[in-house]
Amino acid sequence: MSDTYDDGLVQLDRTAITLHRYHFPSGTSKIIALGMIRGYKAQSLGWFTARFTFWGGTDPRHWLPLDVQRPLRSTLITLDIPGTRPSPAFTPARPDEFLALLDELLARFG
């Protein structure tokens, strides 16, 4: 398995997750060090689970980067980062591949 994942909007490597087009209105990226992540929640992207939120958040608990392909995606991932509100959330294009690599990389941090 490769040590990197990149679908153009979400990038994961051995040190960090980069969420492109995260900040509003500048569209700059958010870089999250893997050591800062306490855990994550992966859930099916349903009709009421941010499917049609292209940028921002449907509630104050999480924030999503700009992604016009989100209605076609299947999985919403929300990161648990202590002291960060709202929590970063995103929809990777290949969720199974992303989650397998994320689990492997987070296990290295113990």
Using an 8 Å Cβ cutoff, are 50 and 41 in contact? Answer: no
What's the half-sphere exposure (Cβ side, CA atoms, 13 Å) at 3? 6
CA angle 17, 104, 86 (to 5 degrees): 35
Amino acid 53: pLDDT: 74
Between CA 13 and CA 105 the distance in angstroms is 8
Between CA 9 and CA 53 the distance in angstroms is 15
Amino acid 55: pLDDT: 72
- Whole-number average pLDDT of the chain: 90
- The whole-model pTM stands at 0.89
